[in-house]
Amino acid sequence: MDKNNLDIISAQEARIALGVKRDKETKEDQKDLVDLYLTDVHKESHYTYEFSLNKVAKKLSTIAEFKDLFIEGMFPDAHALKWYELRNRHTTLIRKWLLETSKPTSAHKDIAPVRGILAKAYYDLSLMSADDYNRAIRACIIKVPKQPTAATGRMLTEEELDALLATCEKGNPSRATRDKAIISIFRQVGARLAEVTKLDLADYSPDFSPDAGRLIICGKGSKLRTAYVKNGVRDALNAWIKIRGNADGPLFYNILMQDEPFARRIAPRTIYQMLLDRGNAAGLEHFTPHDLRRSFASRLMDDGVDIVTIADLMGHSDVAVTAGYSRRPEKRKIDAIK
């Protein structure tokens, strides 16, 4: 690159192109560093991030031994601080000060842009050595303690599930029969919403087959598991297949306005809306498709089924995940105390 042409590009571009590390900092160059970093940040976060950088810069400006970190003649804010000259002792002090003056969550938010601008100086602008960067960044990590959160979702009682199915006893026959089969699978198999939509006719073994009532479910990560439907659930599925027909393809079709099955796979949003509408018709409190899965797990736990079996039925590899699905009422705790 021709050194005589450096005036047509920025000073930072020149340093990168020539591999030169600057000894003197100009106001324009330093502003470039802050502004360049902020261009990588979402616009809505610009103010918040710059506020945090100014907060840290202001603190460092009050310490006499750190005066050399600022560009002479500039107001000591984020644009005047030579971020690329920060070392481990500086970032350690910043971390300690933030934790002493604010909550861990706030300190975590304030130190995040410090990590970002150091990364910009090292990775994009080559203004720091690998050793200086790694040592400085090491102190820029503030762990936020996890806050206990209330369990989301709820368990539907057997009475609520019966009321939900009862709404399928009236209305357009094809739609009602399909909906009854879908709700029955949620209730007895505990499948995920996506798993129900992905079911094909070939995944179900009808009554005349050796494995009557078997259902092959494709779960997360394309993992297959086997479930079995019995009694009323099998009857509901058979009734739907009688309307659907025996053509290969999705198990559950869309239903046209004329109550005619349309050979296209039902969408998750269609099932979600169906459950919402039928829940309202039954006068139930709000629930989601995943609450039906929680209800399945909770009911089996109440029935004394071991957690490993429940995990297998739900497609969980970790029983701790299965245990988290329990939404059983507080009454069980009272009843457990003899």
Tens of pLDDT along 291-318? 999 999 999 998 889 999 999 999 998 9
CATH code at 272?
1.10.443.10
Residues 226 and 259 in one domain: yes
Residues 82 and 227 in one domain: no
Residues 332 and 184 in one domain: yes
Grade residue 329 by pLDDT with cuts at 50, 70 and 90: low
As a three-state string, the secondary structure of the chain is CCHHHHHHCCHHHHHHHHCCCCCCCCHHHHHHHHHHHHHCCCHHHHHHHHHHHHHHHHHHHCCHHHHHHECCCCCCCCCCECHHHCCHHHHHHHHHHHHHHCCHHHHHHHHHHHHHHHHHHHHHCCCCCHHHHHHHHHCCCCCCCCCCCCCCCCCCCHHHHHHHHHHHHCCCHHHHHHHHHHHHHHHHHCCCHHHHHCCEHHHECCCCCCCCCEEEEECHHHCEEEEECCHHHHHHHHHHHHHHCCCCCECCEEECCCCCEEEEECCHHHHHHHHHHHHHHCCCCCCCHHHHHHHHHHHHHHCCCCHHHHHHHHCCCCHHHHHCCCCCCCHHHHHHCC
Residue of 335 and 45 predicted with greater confidence: 45
Residue 18's domain comprises 3-138
Q: Looking at residues 39-66, what average pLDDT do you find?
A: 91
Confidence check: pLDDT of 161 > 50 = yes
Q: Which of 108, 138, 168 delimits the end of a domain?
A: 138
Q: Which of these ranges, 212-216, 251-255, 281-285, has the smallest mean pLDDT?
A: 212-216
Evaluate whether residue 61 is within a structural domain.
yes
Q: Looking at residues 34-61, what average pLDDT do you find?
A: 91
**Count of domains forming the chain:** 2
The pLDDT value given to residue 3: 37
Q: Looking at residues 49-55, what average pLDDT do you find?
A: 94
Give residue-wise pLDDT tens across range 220-267.
Answer: 888 999 999 988 899 999 999 999 999 999 999 999 989 999 999 999
Q: Looking at residues 179-192, what average pLDDT do you find?
A: 95
